[in-house]
Amino acid sequence: MIYLNLRAKGYDVTFVKAETKTCGVELAPKGIRTNAILPGTIFSEMMLREGEFTEFTISKIPMGRGGEPREIG
């Protein structure tokens, strides 16, 4: 089974959101916009081999599927 440090992931997401907002406030007067891409679960080939874990993860996603690498950016 893949071990995911979910607490660290949460910190990363929170930081990116806060930093994007802060940069947006600082740069808006110069006409510069900021944006961030924060994808949810992305199923790589390695993750798809994890069978039971992948099924459990998919069952928790409202859309019933994870993202694919080609859908980012």
Q: Is the dihedral of CA 39, 68, 72, 9 positive or negative?
A: positive
* Residue with the larger pLDDT of the pair 60 and 3: 60
pLDDT of residue 9: 62
Q: Is the dihedral of CA 54, 55, 61, 64 positive or negative?
A: positive
Query: What is the pTM assigned to this prediction?
Result: 0.53
Over residues 30-68, the pLDDT tens digits come to 999 999 988 778 887 877 777 787 888 888 888 888 888
